[in-house]
Structure 1
Amino acid sequence: MALSSTFSSNLSLGLKSQLTQSQSQSQSQSHTFQLCCKTLPLMRRTKANMFNPIVNQALTTTEVPQRRIGKHHPNLWADEFIQSLPNHPYQAPHYAERCGKLISEIKHRFNAAAGGENIVSKLLSLVDDIERLGIDRHFQEEIKEALQLVHRNWNDCQRDLNTTALGFRILRLHRYSVSPGMLGPFRTANGQFFCSTAQTEEGKIKGILNLYRASYIAFPGEKILDEAQEFSTTYLREALQKTGISSNLLHEVSVNLRYDWYAFLPRLEARKYIEIYGENSSWARTEDNEKLLSLAKMDFNMVQSLYQQELKDFSRWWRESGLPNVDFARHRHVEFFFMACAICEDEKYSAFRSSLAKSCVLATYLDDTYDTYGTVDELKLLTEAIKKWDPTSIDQLPDYMKIIYMVLYNGVNEMDREAQKFQGRDTLSHAKDAWETYIDAMLQEAVWNATKHIPTLVEHIENGHVSSGKRPTTLQAILTVDGIVSENIFHKIDYPSRFDYLGGFSLRVRGDIKSFKGEVDRGETNSSIVSYMKDNPGSTEEDALNYLQNLLDERHKELNWELLKIDGVPTCTKDYSYDVARGYLHFYNERDGFSFAYQEIQDHVNQILIEPVTM
């Protein structure tokens, strides 16, 4: 049975207005572009960190405006390095032939698991391994049939905590209507959970680990999953200190605690689970598991070889765009391409990866222009020019803005042509609206910063979920995957849908929490923390962080519901939009990974794009 929309009525009983209530209580276009880039001088900052006033022709005075800068580190991935990547050996045809043979052999394993005893447990374990190893796209029909069998037999089988938690998580993510009440028999009166006394210590840890993973797939009001998350987090942290536990299990626990569901991107999980799976000597002794591991490794490396070819094209686009000359902004194009690949491994979706990465690049240059470098007068000119959507309207812009405008103009039009191939119609009006509302929200924040105005938390978030950039960076990309998003269902995933709002809300609040100190150093006053403290005199930064984290947790549950309910939006479209939000949250897992690509982010870029898995 699939999820229906009946749950939405429960959300309307206060959940959707929780933020407001809380606050009331407390207070020749391509040719034109090429000419523009060729004639612009190479722009470098002076010692005062500002452009030469001669360049800034739009100003009414010869006095150089005082500008804020982000002090961002330079690009870490030279185009010369990327273009020099050798041809990947896994492009050879015999690897594809070997993978095809393994896929065929593993498909027979589903039939074997569906017979004999413990059908539910065996099928769930097989599906879980295949999905976490990143090879599930090869077994879609088999997984569908396996889960139908699991669901039919659910009430007739004996289950332990491990199987129950695993089943709840997998069935819910595949949009079956399942209740977390199935975990009730394993819960004590004081909110503790227990495994069978007959299980080994490692078996108990595995069960609690799956309970932890299941707790994140919660809907609003499911208190038992809140208790499960609190209990399992404490239990697993203590388990890491125990002796006599196999290293691969401790590795698995450590990885899952470090990256919760919202920050654990599919391809990154595959890379890490391949390592964990290969460390388990008991698994490696069985032929079936050796086949799974061998397929996962070869498939990962073959897909990575495709990523590298796409990365070369993408890096070349960035280099030739003129954007490297806009040196006050963050040059994070490779990191954004990593995010796109970590979300979407399917070979046929190269347009999705390209569109997502390009949109993120465009939004970042606009963000740094509006947030830090541009003056309010310049920003008003840029906003007006973008809304006209006509390259002839940019004459009054400073030259650095001309570059950004033309890359935006050409990029959005190019992505619209790609989307038309999948949707069968022109969707440019939706893309233009997304970018226009984005820059309007950015301009509002620029005015607030310039006037030192601190909005209320409600005002900040209503504007901030738009200025987060989630909508414009996602919209055109998700139109290049399977599924026609007709006009009559567009509003269910695009603005003003609750799904769109929650994605932007998640990015805005998580970003505020993780980037607060850096923004203060840059002189920015727009932050959820600052607004909360203004609304609540006498409150501390810690009070604000606790309030916002609790609010974010509740909104994530609602976002889960919006993702998994059946409402006519193509599943693939909605899944990838949701995963884009997770991609952004990954950069904010520890701190602001957009402003500073710290070592872990660099390692992940290497693992997904550069370094193959050892065979």
Structure 2
Amino acid sequence: MSLPCFKPLASTLIGQKLPLHKPSSIHHDDKPSLTKLYPSRRRVARMPINMALTTTDEQGITRRIGNHHPNLWDHDFLQSLPKSYDAPCYGERAEKVIKEIKGMFNALHLNSSSADDLYKRLSMVDDVERLGIDRHFQTEIKAALDYVYRYWDDMNGIGCGRESPCADLNTTALGFRILRLHRYGVSSGMLLQFKDNDGQFLCSNTLSNEELRSILNLYRASLIAFPKEQDLDDAKAFSTKYLKQVLPNINNTNISKEIKYNLEYGWHTNVPRLEARTYIDIYGDAKTTNNIYNSKLLELAKLDFNMIQSIQQRELQIVSRWWKESGLDKLEFARHRHVEFYFSAAGVCIDPKYSTFRIGFAKMCTFLTCLDDIYDTYGTLDELKLFTQAIKRWDLAFMEALPEFMKVAFKAFDEGVRSMAQEAEKTQERDKLNYARKAWEICIDSFMVEATWIATGYIPSLEEYLENGKVSFGYRVVTLQPLLSLDVPINDDIIKEIDYPSKFNDLLCLTLRLRGDTKTFKAEVDRGELASGIACYLKDNPRSTEEDALEYLNSLIDEKLKELNWEYLKPDNVPIISKYHKYALSKGIQLLYKERDGISVSDIQTKKLITKAMIEPVPI
């Protein structure tokens, strides 16, 4: 079935005073220089540095440091992971169960009652997706959704069955969410019929399972909103308030677990791997084992989770060995978060054949973080100027005059970029090394801009800050080469749709920069990094408070995420695998910033998530 056309949706910034969508000052053919970008730059006195966050090296140079905690994942521990589900017998059992479930999917077409045929199909699709096993049933999922879409009405939604006399909120909300995420053209206008004359959503407040599940699915649907979809904004406000109010009074513990999970993780921080691990527990408790379909789904979900975990443990061992061999483990001032970065990729990309993608992303993020720590804290301004020149020449010979820590960082970085280019050439059948280097050079230039801000104590306007910050966050460079390693050719026209200068890439980088700033700005001030989204907003709005700035940035994030949803889900000529993985990786990063800076401080919640997803198998 060809994808139906969406109607283009305009987007605006709520309360926006700044023209954030003017053409970027930083692009491929015009690298930024401070005098060119900011000719009227005002010099201000250097702000005092927190001396508790400095160290003196062997040459007597005082350097700023981040006081980051060390690597949490012992190399020997990772090498000892048992990979318990490597044996062929598990794969053979899984293949047998997959065939049985495919038969159950197909049986729906032969023995489907018109009373609930639509809901049954949607429920099956929802189950396999939340259990993390949907990649095995892509043909069956498409057939089920094509069937449901034939009966979809943008004005009225759908009932439980194709012959239902009236629409059902639970089926309609579930159908809207799943169909939209699979790029079927569905409108949110059908929600009007579930409101009263005052525009309020109707509910009985009975706390029945049916009522609770309807409101939960309404909430889940409301998260997949495009700009200017007021009905979905209303649905989100109503369902959020309703679910939070009734949660303490729910007797069904399984529904309450579902509600808690969805309220906590929403959509943009809900990574498939953690959802699968959580839903396996809920599904195992909630579904009766007398139902052969439910028991088969649960068996496959557990087997699949543990087999994938064994693959991920093997890849973790590779990443840890690489990290030690690269010498980056000796740079004590830098954040050592290679495991956390691998988790971000493995949480959203579980297909066994994409090992290079996951490992490559972990390496690129490790390089980015190390370079960021050099530019933001440890390097002096004079060293950074020489370091920037040396990197942009891509020649180790130009590193001789620099400190040892810069030599170690650049050597590992240069080798890593070259290695990923070789991997990409296998699938793209052409050399993209220079393209990747160009992207890194632009990122390094943005680092240098921020290093100069730090050295001079300069706080830019919010517009100026975000134009540079979208680049310096580094999301473009850490995703570019891993995406090129996927098993699908990506021509230059498609690269422009997922990379620079696409709006898709711009929104990904902007939302991540804004999200990061709302969680890191206090720690950055302690390190002497004064320019952040919060500080720049306060400079632009002197009478505002820190709370005002946070409210503004969070509102801006919400609006930009809606625009991002559209850019991700709109029909275009981009291979869905490339667009999905770039979008999904952002969810892995958003997860780390959900409550705090889970990259800089990963010894609490982040470690628990990694242990749950990649260390501890599901009991079978």
State the TM-score, normalized to the length of structure 1: 0.91
* Structure 1 segment 184-583 matched on structure 2, within 5 A: 184-195=192-203, 201-243=208-250, 245-280=251-286, 282-583=287-588
Letter in 2 for 1:85: L
- Report the 3-state secondary structure (helix = DSSP H, G, I; strand = E; otherwise coil) of the residue aligned with 1:362: helix
Find the aligned partners of 2:593 and 2:572 in 1 and give their Cα distance: 30
1:257 Cα deviation (Å)? 1.0
Find the aligned partners of 1:612 and 1:391 in 2 and give their Cα distance: 44
- Report the 3-state secondary structure (helix = DSSP H, G, I; strand = E; otherwise coil) of the residue aligned with 2:500: coil
1:58 matched to which residue of 2? none
1:75 to 2:74 alignment: no
1:23 Cα deviation (Å)? 11
Letter in 1 for 2:377: T
Structure 1 324/303 Cα, relative in aligned 2: closer, same or farther at 3 Å?
Answer: same
Find the aligned partners of 1:19 and 1:361 in 2 and give their Cα distance: 36
Find the aligned partners of 1:532 and 1:47 in 2 and give their Cα distance: 26
Letter in 1 for 2:147: L
Counterpart of 1:178 (choices 183, 186, 196) is 186
Point out where structure 1 has 5 or more consecutive residues left out of the alignment: 25-45, 54-63
1:43 matched to which residue of 2? none
Letter in 2 for 1:257: L
1:112 to 2:107 alignment: yes
Query: Identical aligned pairs, as a percentage?
Result: 51
1:302 Cα deviation (Å)? 0.5
Does the 8 A contact of 1:219 with 1:561 survive in 2? yes
1:582 Cα deviation (Å)? 1.0
- Report the 3-state secondary structure (helix = DSSP H, G, I; strand = E; otherwise coil) of the residue aligned with 2:600: coil
2:95 matched to which residue of 1? 100
Letter in 1 for 2:77: F
Does the 8 A contact of 1:329 with 1:365 survive in 2? yes
Find the aligned partners of 2:453 and 2:533 in 1 and give their Cα distance: 14
Find the aligned partners of 2:105 and 2:551 in 1 and give their Cα distance: 46
Letter in 2 for 1:100: E
- Report the 3-state secondary structure (helix = DSSP H, G, I; strand = E; otherwise coil) of the residue aligned with 1:49: strand
More helix by share: 1
Structure 1 5/418 Cα, relative in aligned 2: closer, same or farther at 3 Å?
Answer: farther
1:169 to 2:170 alignment: no
Does the 8 A contact of 1:423 with 1:484 survive in 2? yes
1:482 Cα deviation (Å)? 3.5
Find the aligned partners of 2:373 and 2:220 in 1 and give their Cα distance: 36
* Structure 1 segment 16-165 matched on structure 2, within 5 A: 20-21=18-19, 49-53=55-59, 64-86=60-82, 88-114=83-109, 115-117=112-114, 118-155=116-153, 156-158=162-164, 159-165=167-173
1:314-340 deviation per Cα after TM superposition (whole angstroms, max 9, x unaligned):
100001110011000111111111111
Find the aligned partners of 2:558 and 2:619 in 1 and give their Cα distance: 38
State the TM-score, normalized to the length of structure 2: 0.90
Does the 8 A contact of 1:449 with 1:524 survive in 2? yes
1:549-589 deviation per Cα after TM superposition (whole angstroms, max 9, x unaligned):
11110000000111011221110000000011111110011
Point out where structure 2 has 5 or more consecutive residues left out of the alignment: 23-51, 154-161
1:280-299 deviation per Cα after TM superposition (whole angstroms, max 9, x unaligned):
1x433311100000000000
Does the 8 A contact of 2:54 with 2:64 survive in 1? no
1:47 Cα deviation (Å)? 11
Letter in 1 for 2:96: K
1:463 Cα deviation (Å)? 0.5
Cα RMSD, aligned residues only: 2.0
Does the 8 A contact of 1:307 with 1:341 survive in 2? yes
Find the aligned partners of 1:339 and 1:489 in 2 and give their Cα distance: 24
Does the 8 A contact of 1:5 with 1:567 survive in 2? no
Find the aligned partners of 1:121 and 1:50 in 2 and give their Cα distance: 66
1:378 Cα deviation (Å)? 1.0
Does the 8 A contact of 2:53 with 2:64 survive in 1? no
Does the 8 A contact of 2:390 with 2:398 survive in 1? yes
- Report the 3-state secondary structure (helix = DSSP H, G, I; strand = E; otherwise coil) of the residue aligned with 1:352: helix
Find the aligned partners of 1:382 and 1:283 in 2 and give their Cα distance: 63
Does the 8 A contact of 2:514 with 2:557 survive in 1? yes
Find the aligned partners of 2:235 and 2:340 in 1 and give their Cα distance: 34
Structure 1 48/257 Cα, relative in aligned 2: closer, same or farther at 3 Å?
Answer: closer
Find the aligned partners of 1:147 and 1:449 in 2 and give their Cα distance: 53
Structure 1 22/103 Cα, relative in aligned 2: closer, same or farther at 3 Å?
Answer: closer
- Report the 3-state secondary structure (helix = DSSP H, G, I; strand = E; otherwise coil) of the residue aligned with 2:342: helix
